[in-house]
Amino acid sequence: MINDVPGRRPANPRFSCGPCTKRPGWSVDVLQNAPFGRSHRSKIGKSRLKQAIDLTREILEIPADYRIAIVPASDTGAVEMSLWSMLGERGVDVLAWEAFSADWVTDVVEQLPIDDVRVMTAPYGELPDLSKVDCDRDVVFAWNGTTSGVRVPDADWIAADRKGLTICDATSAAFAQKLDWAKLDATTFSWQKVMGGEAAHGMLVLSPRAVARLESYKPAWPLPKIFRMTKNGRLIEALFEGETINTPSLMATEDYIDALHWAKSIGGLAGLRARADANCKVVTDWVERTPWIDFLGAETANRSNTALCLMVVDPQVTSLPPEAQAAFCKEIVSILEVEQVAYDIGSYKDAPAGLRLWSGSTVETADLEALLPWLDWAFVSAKAALSRAA
């Protein structure tokens, strides 16, 4: 079989699902105004942090009465703060269908002393039955499964008159998908996904209902300092004005502010969503005409437009033992990295063997278009090696 090397290369081979590639045109020069060596408690430090919060509200179209905080430990830290600070007041439904939502199950079931917990799971590529969720209980879920490429299609399954809180991990959905804020009470994400920011900083968005829970309910367990959002039964308002719990990176903050200004320049949330949707369509069209590859998620309405999880469906490969299938996919990933046309596109370590492409808003559509022939080329090359080994 002739397998000519494609002639065109992606200008940017960074298709990692996190940390994700920087915005188009980014350079280290955007950091020149960062207040290096200054305290985050100084006037300039707090003003930068507050600017990041205000721009986040503007771009994500977050209601004025919702609080926004920059918190430690990335999206994980923001989720943990929510779970440990708010759960236990009533029964909990926890939804899991991929690696990170499974981590929240572990927290709720094994770490927190909550008696009334219902766990609703689905295998990779599928969603739990959302119609069985009881929104008079607290509900913990991921909006977009980064490791499975499957998202909830909307928030219609969440009751508007619910009695419980919704705690939503939206880390690979925020800025690329429309979040229904009226249905979300504690929403979390990080800078290093759709905005291409740096790691270690989380964002926590609280509805008035979530604030009411924090002020009226005290968990039966002790809370570490980095989880505490109240003092003497009242919300620590300063936390939501840029006075962070621990020391943030003002360099990373400046980088996030730059990404937010770029988002404004391309039309805000609508522009960001349009870019991610266009990128997703390019890959979807290729999958539909390519017999050796398919999406891990079968339902089109539930597929992510940012984390595109793919599986090799060629019969010769699927007939192999699971470990050999994983090795085949790793060979494709290795070939592409050696050629410097795609970095870090293997499936998540706990997910089924396959490929995972980031198609979020900072990715240029032209780079994905250039990558696709290389994917075909690498597949044929890996398959030829497989035949020789046999």
135-169: pLDDT as tens digits: 999 999 999 999 999 999 999 999 999 999 999 99
Task: Kindly give the confidence (pLDDT) of every residue in the chain, 390 residues in length, as a single tens digit, with 9 standing for 90 and above.
Answer: 568 999 999 999 999 999 999 999 999 999 999 999 999 999 999 999 999 999 999 999 999 999 999 999 999 999 999 999 999 999 999 999 999 999 999 999 999 999 999 999 999 999 999 999 999 999 999 999 999 999 999 999 999 999 999 999 999 999 999 999 999 999 999 999 999 999 999 999 999 999 999 999 999 999 999 999 999 999 999 999 999 999 999 999 999 999 999 999 999 999 999 999 999 999 999 999 999 999 999 999 999 999 999 999 999 999 999 999 999 999 999 999 999 999 999 999 999 999 999 999 999 999 999 999 999 999 999 999 888 876
- pLDDT at residue number 284: 98
Are 240 and 129 part of one and the same domain? yes
Whether 14 maps to a domain, the answer reads no
What secondary structure does DSSP assign to 127-163, as a single string? Answer: ---GGG--TTSEEEEESEETTTTEE-S-STTS-TT-S
pLDDT the model gives residue 2 = 62
Instruction: Specify whether 79 is located in the same domain as 191.
Output: yes
Number of compact structural domains in the chain: 2
Q: Are residues 99 and 176 in the same domain?
A: yes
* 54 and 107 co-located in one domain: yes
Residues 134 and 248 in one domain: yes
Q: Do 293 and 159 fall into the same domain? A: no
Strands 307-312 and 355-358: antiparallel
Tokens (6 digits) for 124: 């990779």
Regarding whether 272 and 255 lie in a shared domain, the answer is: no
- Whole-angstrom CA distances from 5 to 15, 336, 341, 371, 381 are 20, 11, 12, 12, 10
Residue 309's DSSP bridge partners are: 356
What are the distances in angstroms from CA 319 to CA 90, 240, 323? 48, 54, 11
57 and 197 in a single domain? The answer is yes
- Give residues with Cβ within 8 angstroms of 198, minimum separation 6: 19, 191, 192, 249, 251, 252, 255, 256
On whether residue 238 sits in a domain, the answer given is yes
Query: What pLDDT, on a 0 to 100 scale, did the predictor assign at position 1?
Result: 52
Domain that holds residue 333: 268-389
Same domain, 167 and 300: no
CATH number for position 79: 3.40.640.10
Same-domain status, 155 and 210: yes
Domain boundary among 220, 236, 264: 264
163, 298: one domain: no
**Whole-angstrom distance, CA of residue 130 vs CA of residue 224:** 33
Residues 251 and 288 in one domain: no
Looking at residue 331, its pLDDT comes to 97
Which pLDDT belongs to residue 389? Answer: 79
Tell whether 67 is covered by a domain. Answer: yes
Is 190 part of a structural domain of the chain? Answer: yes
CATH of the domain at 303: 3.90.1150.10
Whether residue 8 is contained in a domain is answered as: no
Domain closes at, from 264, 285, 311: 264
Amino acid at 91: G
| 25 burial via Cβ count (<10 Å: 0-12, 13-18, 19+) | exposed
Element (H, E) at 369: helix 365-389
- For residues 124 and 99, the answer to whether their CB atoms sit within 8 Å is no
